[in-house]
Amino acid sequence: MELNQLTIHELQEKIKAGETTSTEIVQAVFRRIDAVEKDVHAYILLTREMALEGAARADEEIKKGNIKTLTGIPIALKDLLCTKGVTTTCASHILHNYVPPYDATVVEKLRDAGAVFTGKTNMDEFAMGSSTETSYFGITKNPWDLERIPGGSSGGSAAAVVADECIAAIGSDTGGSIRQPAALCGVVGMKPTYGRVSRYGLVAFASSLDQIGPFTKDVEDCAIMMNILAGYDPRESTSVPADVPDYRQFLSRGIGGWKVGIPKEYFIEGIDAEVKDAIQQTIKVIEGMGAKCIEVSLPHTEYCLAVYYIIAPAEASSNLARYDGVKYGFRSLDGRDLMEMYKKSRSAGFGAEVKRRIMLGTYVLSSGYYDAYYKKASQVRALIKQDFDEAFKQCDVLLTPTTPTPAFKIGEKTDDPLQMYLSDIFTISTNLAGIPGMVVPCGFTRAGLPVGVQFLAGHFEEGKLIQIAAAYEKNANLGKRRPKL
Amino acid sequence: MKIQKDEVTHVAHLARLEFTEAETEKFTAQLNNILIYMDMLNRADTTGVEPMTHAIAQKNAFREDLVKESLSREATLANAPDARGDFFRVPKVIE
């Protein structure tokens, strides 16, 4: 086993036992990056020098016996998290040269915990997409099959973790952007409760839905990362001042006597047969562990996609109004007056999908259409949340497929936005309701593509998700498969 | 048709975007398809349902009104495409 293939907790043990150093770990990660990155393209920017300097500093601390949770561990950051002095592009031409003057809170927290940063990972432009194909900096490939997409929008983070180009990574999830790529790449991903993790320094997409979370190689690492990321931040007014438990305590509790809800609306026509089989196999494993699986209903599920593609673009059109070529980012030099400068900078600076969503969002908020679209969608959103409230009266957690199909081919859905949007059909309701969701690998198709199961819980019940995910991981016996690169 | 070409052009102006003729046609067709799909929401009975704006109900988040350090002028202007002196410079606004 190479060092870069290990988990956070395995590396911690080795560091504590004096069997390895942070420098060796970081060197192993960059050897791997040098070998596979030309095929995978998980990163927009590599910060090799800074990582090696960070590793040297970590090794000094380790010598002094000062070992924190992530001391010397290489972590990758999605390129929409502000990093002081390091470009943060959001995979967009309009921010291609933006150098933030401050760190995002999660970046600060990870650094304070001892982490070393490998670089900034690729993503769909402004996190708008399900395939990482809309990046201004090129497509990320799925490490299991280089002709396929890794999912999105946090496709670079998911690919980097499964290709062992980092030990863990951070992503963001507005409608499934952590969970969908985690499922399609075969790693663990968590979207925490809305308000659980500070978004200070996260470039905003849809502010009532965005949430930051980790990608890891196993469930224990997810608990370790959540311990660092979660918590109130006075700089972020939607972060919630609620107590944060030690998530590691949930790793070994088991799920005996639990009720696990299976929402019948999630087993739709059009779901891939092998995905369905893998989920049904997962249900059997869960039942074998002393939990009872019961059918529940989320009757407004069919409306989720329509609600999401009104609310998210509406919020995005407002959030992205700030990119005007004045204070930072790209400015077109062709504008003869201020209005022309705005229009030409924005039109040349944003890609097609971002412009499509700005247009959709501006339209649904415009005078005469607000009630028909935005208000109606916000009302149906309330009904979707009520569905979950009712379901969680009957069960501890919900179990669902994460995606209708395994990873699709590059280019397969780029010409049909609605088809692309449908790949998020099982993940967006979570963001609309603000509840936490977690994805764990649950098998492979015959073609060798990973499938992930999604667990959902009530607000601030990430602990329950870790509890069932850890129990499942231990009992599923999936073995350690690695992509052949 | 849910949305016509001239409406697309108007919305583009509101969003401070501009498109070629071909782009406008493509956007009109794509937005139409998406808006037709949205029509399914009319099937949902929302009589008396309060619109939901936040996933987690929170009251106003207040902080102490204290003077704290903020970004320096240099750091603030460092990313500007055209900074001059202490200002962001833009093309002329008035004739």
pLDDT, tens digit, 9 for 90 and up, residues A114-144: 999 999 999 999 999 999 999 999 999 999 9
Confidence class for position B53, pLDDT limits 50, 70, 90: confident
Q: A157-185 burial string, b = 16+ CB within 10 Å, else e?
A: bbbbbbbbbbbbbbbbbbbbbbbbbbbbb
**CA pair distance A85, A66, nearest whole angstrom:** 27
What is the rounded end-to-end Cα distance, in angstroms, of chain B? 40
pLDDT score, position A420: 85
User: Token pair of A225, please?
Assistant: 């990362």
**Which residues are within 8 A (CB) of B28 and not within 5 positions of it... i.e. 6 or more apart?**
B3, B4, B5, B8
Nearest to A341 among B3, B15, B91 (CB): B91
Its sign, for the CA torsion A12, A17, A21, A26, is negative
User: What is the reported pLDDT for A421?
Assistant: 85
Asked if B49 has any chain A CB less than 8 Å from its own CB, the reply is: yes
A438 inside domain? no
Measure in Å the smallest separation between the Cα of B31 and chain A Cα atoms.
7
Q: What range does the domain containing A43 cover?
A: 3-249
Q: Which residues of B touch A337 (CB under 8 A)?
A: 91-93
Which portions of chain A are predicted below pLDDT 70?
none
Which of B17, B78, B80 is facing A358, going by the closest CB pair? B17
Structure tokens at A341: 């400068």
Instruction: State the pLDDT at residue B93.
Output: 80
Whether residue A192 is contained in a domain is answered as yes
pLDDT digits 0-9 by tens, A62-112: 999 999 999 999 999 999 999 999 999 999 999 999 999 999 999 999 999
Q: Is the pLDDT of residue B64 over 90?
A: no
Q: E-assigned strands of B1-86?
A: 83-84
CATH (domain of A21)? 3.90.1300.10
Please tell me the distance in Å from A382's CA to the nearest CA on chain B: 5
Taking alpha carbons only, the member of A57, A74, A61, A54 closest to residue A11 is A74
Per-residue pLDDT tens digits for A438-473: 999 999 999 999 999 999 999 999 999 999 999 999
**Cβ-contact B82, A331 below 8 angstroms:** yes
Query: Out of A22, A153, A172, A429, which one is annotated catalytic?
Result: A153
User: Is the separation of the CB atoms in A22 and A55 below 8 Å?
Assistant: yes
pLDDT at B58 over 80: no
Q: Do A310 and B38 touch (CB under 8 A)?
A: yes
**At residue A400, what are phi and psi to the nearest 5 degrees?**
-145, 165
User: How many angstroms separate the CA atoms of A58 and A71, rounded?
Assistant: 6
pLDDT computed for residue A415 by the predictor = 84
User: How many structural domains compose chain A?
Assistant: 1
Q: Say if the Cβ atoms of B52 and A379 lie within 8 Å.
A: yes
Give a yes or no: residue A330 inside a domain. no
Burial annotation A354-363 (CB, 10 A radius, 16+ → b, else e): bbbbbbbbbb
Contacts with A312 from chain B: Cβ below 8 Å: none
Pick the residue of B6, B53, B56, B95 with the most A CBs within 10 A to test the interface with A by mutation.
B56
Helix A48-63 crosses helix A22-40 at what angle (to 10 degrees)?
A: 160
- Bridge partners of A214, per DSSP, are A170
pLDDT given at position A96? 98
Helix (H) or strand (E) holding B14: helix B5-14
pLDDT(B57) > 80: no
Residue A279 in any domain: the answer is no
Whose tokens are 């971002």? That residue is A354
Tokens for A466, please give them: 């870790």
Contact assignment for A307 to B71 by CB distance below 8 Å: no
- Give chain A positions within 8 Å (CB) of B17: 343, 346-347, 350, 355, 358-359
Residue B81 near chain A (CB below 8 Å): yes
* B85 in A contact zone (CB under 8 Å): no
For chain A positions 212-271, those within 8 Å of chain B (CB to CB) are 234, 237-238, 240
Does residue A294 sit at the B interface (CB-CB below 8 Å)?
no
- The β-bridge relationship of strands B87-88 and A450-456 is unpaired
Q: Are B32 and B5 in contact (CB under 8 A)?
A: no
Please state the pTM of the whole predicted model: 0.97
The answer to whether residue A147 sits within a structural domain is yes
Q: Which structural domains are found in chain B, ordered by start?
A: 5-43 (1.10.20)
Let me know if A252 is a catalytic residue.
Answer: no
Q: Do A380 and B14 touch (CB under 8 A)?
A: no
Give percent of chain B above pLDDT 70. 99
Rounded CA-CA distance A212/A196 in Å is 9
Q: Is A153 a catalytic residue?
A: yes
Q: Which chain B residues contact residue A87 at CB under 8 A? A: none
What was the pLDDT predicted at A313?
A: 97
* pLDDT computed for residue A285 by the predictor: 97
Domain-located, residue A308:
no
> Which of A142, A93, A89 is CA-nearest to residue A119?
A89
Q: What is the pLDDT of residue A418?
A: 82
* CA A34/CA A363 separation, integer angstroms: 45
Mean pLDDT of chain A: 97
The 3-state DSSP class for residue A46 equals strand
Q: Is the Cβ–Cβ distance between A206 and A319 less than 8 Å?
A: yes
Determine the residue among A94, A318, A363, A462 to mutate to test chain B binding: the one whose Cβ has the most chain B Cβ atoms within 10 Å: A363
Is residue A180 included in any domain, yes or no? yes
Between CA A430 and CA A252, with CA A467 as vertex, the angle to 5 degrees is: 170
Which residues are paired to A120 by β-bridges? A45, A77
Cα–Cα distances in angstroms (integers) from residue B10 to residues A321, A366, B15, B23, B29, in the given order: 16, 10, 9, 14, 16
